Structure 1
């Protein structure tokens, strides 16, 4: 590759034992072409206008922008309250804008104060972002446009606002409505964003080995009102979220909106997160949650914040709220909980199997960390789980220590099978993060668990797995990722 050297002043610098000419960052990107490695030397790069890649790389000759240790890009922007849970668009600031291009890689940088976005993508494909530290912003990455696909975000770190978990109320970030339905814009609405946000993208997104913390949402992918009637699979298809760390997430680590097809959430670590998995008003299906580990030692919000209960699943409230069209499966996860498993709502097609679900003992925790009478589910009048065909809900083979388990399933006829009730802690020390099962619960299953994949094939567990994510000290790998076979999925009946 041709190496183009970049410095913050564009002057000559000693680089690799030679005095070399350099370009400014803006000059290098403006002149970039396939087969170039744009290498930034250490320094702070102050920018006030977006850096726009004018042309694509090729599959064999991508354009690579790579910083060395000590590279800081400081945008110096203030929060933009006009962007809140919405598409920032190409007219607002982003450090990098990638619009109608392909085959670009950006690596090994630190980006600061990029409001509203560090990276904005529109109708582009085959883009890779690796080892980027991002501090502040409504979005770290935002993608837009139906031609956007083939996005990889790997080994990046994002800290949105370290005061959010304890010092800002949930309803000071999320807009409210008055009695007439008018939006009430709240003070910190600019924090209502995500590490990865999107609108109307096709999909094929890989989010792996990232450290996502102190933010409102982790991954939140939406579909605009104009495209809600598009066939399932047109948008938000084939999303893999593997081996990430989510910490101090004020709302949802994983939140598809409107539609999602073929989402894989596996081997992630969740630490102090409000509601893990959102299925609120989402059509589609073939969602897989496996080998994830969840724990807590803190409860969000300042005094008086009522939006701090949390749950594992966030479901839609029924009625006219869209529901899944296809199956999903949550299996072999380990949960150490202060919150309910499901608070309210309704779903269908969900198989919840062979998880280890430990509710902490509130009497040995600091006061107010969790309710002393925390329930397994919310009010049965507000939670609807049915074993009816064609998309039954089933809870099978879960190990749980809640005092009401398995009796809590009495209102949900036919939903529960093969329960494993337990007394006392399930894990060696959930509070400390030791998720090995205690010896008395290290009991494998007699049969395999079969999981339908989005190409029509079946993946089966081995019978020697214990409940939860860890067997014999090793996190299970789970099924290999399989992309959606649209012909197969669209041949299935929709309820």
Structure 2
């Protein structure tokens, strides 16, 4: 190494300090894409002692094991020690980021054993990372394997992001607990729970639920007793028992399981539930997901709460799970029970498209359900479907596949309505007497254009469904009515095959919210129609405006705009020169706040080019790149 190649103690990226991490903490040459020069590296544990808001902890190529404890005197096997992040706090414009290089950085928790009991993960159990009392952390772009029971455990922490992580072989990818845990984002991850695929094909459902293979009863995300604000979007989940699973306390002393978005995900071979809230769920939005084979998709039995929205989802279930000896291989989309908690708030399922080998609804009770303008088509029964879930009695007849005779068998609540749906089998005979599906259509030859490619246009073309109207504060948290597009067909797609849009997410402020649980308005939709530009936020903005925006198009045009404040929407008009070009950035003023005084955030933004212009003395962003580790190195 020449004198000109003296290793640097850190790097700089967009004003943020970069600490380079290796398993050993030695001198390394960076990969070409990182500059190719020599640097001094740290171990991950050492770097955490000198981390500062805005720092990036860049993992260099290699396989990373958690610290391993040996006790040679007792002869006990080695035990893994998690990488614990305690009281590490980034800032809204300067998060602390732990970042890898994709498949070249592998985190292996192979010595982290499966717990001996079926307890949900807590601070005692292994996780490769544990974040306790932290905020504004990001984990991104690495691979992980064999982290049991989870890769990341979160307790009393907020604004935690996990993105572009590929994880295999774990009960959960992320698990969270604590009254102060809220605002968690999982996006663009790939999680395969069982890389052997046996959980779908070979294991008995009961064994994975609560017996020998109980440790599979998890999901990409799980939690117990957290207030909420969880966004799970654009992830790929495969060969797993559940997609996600959030549990509330039996007698919660504060608001739990509020404000959850599960959107844009792709799921394959889910042995139990795609979405599973337990005990409570408030303001859950499940939209634009693609589901290929699952057992009981939406587990809503014994769940209190309401303001649930299922829209623009597509699902295909043609492959029966388990073996012919498994008594639990039937299936349904909506899972209800005959007793237990029921939703007190509204429940809407509209403009979804399903292709099913089993049932839409089998049995159970519910309240406040509005099932409107869905396309629900069924395949012909195969030999594998000749028996019901109990494995001994005949399968349900045609009248029972849409909604079984045990669904709301004793009484039909006044608030439950099914209408405007399209199906290729007869509706249940009792629907007519109950006033259901008055505008529903039965089209025996109806089929989807290409369900294997997720083209869920109906052939012959689906007739218009019934209009869906969400009344402000009664049917949804919005302050204005939302209406589905005029003449929209039943199902998830319009006539061109484009997915229908539902309403933009709105935060629902809970009663008994724990101190500190508030919503910073975040961008949930950017809509453009001609020269009109609308920015939808999750909460109302402080008015009256106007608000100065800066927009840039893909052609390089840049313009200052003046937007008006309309509740939670910023509305502006784009100037000439922006026609036909995509927007690459939209900037709002630093210091823009919501009606409750909470500052606007870029966390979990729906548009990657959303940001700020101007300076904020209260949040100056990343610190200047100085080494704070007392190692004697100079500022670079």
Give the TM-score normalised by the residue count of structure 1. Answer: 0.89
Q: Which residue of 1 aligns with 2:601?
A: none
- Deviations, residues 272-324 of structure 1 (Å, cap 9, x unaligned): 11111111100000000000000023111123101111101001212xx1111
Take 1:190 and 1:124, find their aligned partners in 2: how far apart are those partners?
Answer: 25
Shift of 1:441: 3.0
Shift of 1:416: 3.3
Take 1:238 and 1:339, find their aligned partners in 2: how far apart are those partners?
Answer: 31
CA contact (8 A) 1:443 1:466 kept: yes
Match of 1:405 among 427, 431, 451: 427
Shift of 1:223: 1.3
Q: Is structure 2 residue 155 aligned with structure 1 residue 136?
A: no
Give structure 1 stretches of 5+ with no counterpart: 176-185, 490-495
CA contact (8 A) 2:362 2:405 kept: no
- Secondary structure in structure 2 of the residue aligned to 1:442: coil
Q: Is structure 2 residue 317 aligned with structure 1 residue 296?
A: yes
Take 1:464 and 1:138, find their aligned partners in 2: how far apart are those partners?
Answer: 44
Q: Which residue of 2 aligns with 1:414?
A: 435
Q: Which residue of 1 aligns with 2:122?
A: 89
Q: Which residue of 2 aligns with 1:252?
A: 273
Residues 32 and 359 of structure 1: CA distance in aligned 2, closer, same or farther (over 3 Å): same
Match of 2:242 among 194, 217, 227: 217
Take 2:64 and 2:129, find their aligned partners in 1: how far apart are those partners?
Answer: 13
Residues 36 and 124 of structure 1: CA distance in aligned 2, closer, same or farther (over 3 Å): same
CA contact (8 A) 1:12 1:21 kept: yes
- Deviations, residues 63-110 of structure 1 (Å, cap 9, x unaligned): 1111013110011136524353x4311111001101111111110011
Shift of 1:406: 5.0
Q: Which residue of 1 aligns with 2:489?
A: 466
List aligned pairs for 1:367-406, cutoff 5 A.
367-368=383-384, 373=397, 375-377=400-402, 379-381=404-406, 383-384=408-409, 388-389=413-414, 392-402=415-425, 404-406=426-428
Q: Which residue of 2 aligns with 1:80?
A: 114
Q: Which residue of 2 aligns with 1:38?
A: 57
Residues 469 and 104 of structure 1: CA distance in aligned 2, closer, same or farther (over 3 Å): same
CA contact (8 A) 2:336 2:364 kept: yes
Take 2:187 and 2:437, find their aligned partners in 1: how far apart are those partners?
Answer: 38
CA contact (8 A) 2:285 2:308 kept: yes
Q: Which residue of 2 aligns with 1:182?
A: none
Q: Which residue of 1 aligns with 2:45?
A: 26
Take 2:311 and 2:500, find their aligned partners in 1: how far apart are those partners?
Answer: 9
CA contact (8 A) 1:313 1:342 kept: yes
Q: Is structure 2 residue 258 aligned with structure 1 residue 237?
A: yes
Shift of 1:32: 2.1
Q: Is structure 2 residue 45 aligned with structure 1 residue 13?
A: no
CA contact (8 A) 1:296 1:338 kept: yes
Shift of 1:255: 0.6
Q: Is structure 2 residue 154 aligned with structure 1 residue 101?
A: no
- Deviations, residues 18-56 of structure 1 (Å, cap 9, x unaligned): 111111122223432212110011111122321111321
Q: Which residue of 1 aligns with 2:462?
A: 442
Q: Is structure 2 residue 392 aligned with structure 1 residue 358?
A: no
Q: Is structure 2 residue 142 aligned with structure 1 residue 119?
A: no
- Secondary structure in structure 1 of the residue aligned to 2:343: coil
CA contact (8 A) 1:348 1:385 kept: no
Give the TM-score normalised by the residue count of structure 2. Answer: 0.70
Q: Which range moved further: 49-58 or 374-383?
A: 374-383
Match of 2:93 among 52, 60, 63: 60
Shift of 1:436: 1.4
Residues 248 and 46 of structure 1: CA distance in aligned 2, closer, same or farther (over 3 Å): same
Take 2:401 and 2:342, find their aligned partners in 1: how far apart are those partners?
Answer: 23
Shift of 1:263: 0.2
Shift of 1:259: 0.6
Q: Which residue of 1 aligns with 2:206?
A: 171
CA contact (8 A) 1:83 1:138 kept: no
- Secondary structure in structure 2 of the residue aligned to 1:470: coil
Residues 302 and 170 of structure 1: CA distance in aligned 2, closer, same or farther (over 3 Å): same
Take 1:56 and 1:36, find their aligned partners in 2: how far apart are those partners?
Answer: 11
Q: Which range moved further: 327-336 or 445-454?
A: 445-454
Take 1:244 and 1:266, find their aligned partners in 2: how far apart are those partners?
Answer: 9
Take 2:84 and 2:452, find their aligned partners in 1: how far apart are those partners?
Answer: 46
Which structure's CA Rg is the greater one?
A: 2
CA contact (8 A) 2:467 2:483 kept: no
List aligned pairs for 1:287-366, cutoff 5 A.
287-318=308-339, 321-362=340-381
Residues 481 and 379 of structure 1: CA distance in aligned 2, closer, same or farther (over 3 Å): closer
Task: Work out the number of aligned pairs and report it.
Answer: 464
Give structure 2 stretches of 5+ with no counterpart: 1-15, 67-79, 388-394, 514-636
Q: Is structure 2 residue 499 aligned with structure 1 residue 475?
A: yes
- Secondary structure in structure 1 of the residue aligned to 2:47: helix
CA contact (8 A) 1:62 1:104 kept: yes
Shift of 1:475: 0.5
List aligned pairs for 1:179-218, cutoff 5 A.
186-218=211-243
- Deviations, residues 343-397 of structure 1 (Å, cap 9, x unaligned): 11000101000000000123xx5x31566756325652454485544xx100010
CA contact (8 A) 1:334 1:469 kept: yes
CA contact (8 A) 2:421 2:465 kept: no
- Secondary structure in structure 1 of the residue aligned to 2:215: helix
Take 1:114 and 1:237, find their aligned partners in 2: how far apart are those partners?
Answer: 28
CA contact (8 A) 1:301 1:308 kept: yes
- Secondary structure in structure 1 of the residue aligned to 2:243: strand
Take 1:295 and 1:79, find their aligned partners in 2: how far apart are those partners?
Answer: 35
- Deviations, residues 133-160 of structure 1 (Å, cap 9, x unaligned): 1111111110101211111011111111
- Deviations, residues 433-490 of structure 1 (Å, cap 9, x unaligned): 431111x333334755446212454211011311100112101121101111447x9x
Residues 291 and 446 of structure 1: CA distance in aligned 2, closer, same or farther (over 3 Å): closer
CA contact (8 A) 1:343 1:378 kept: yes
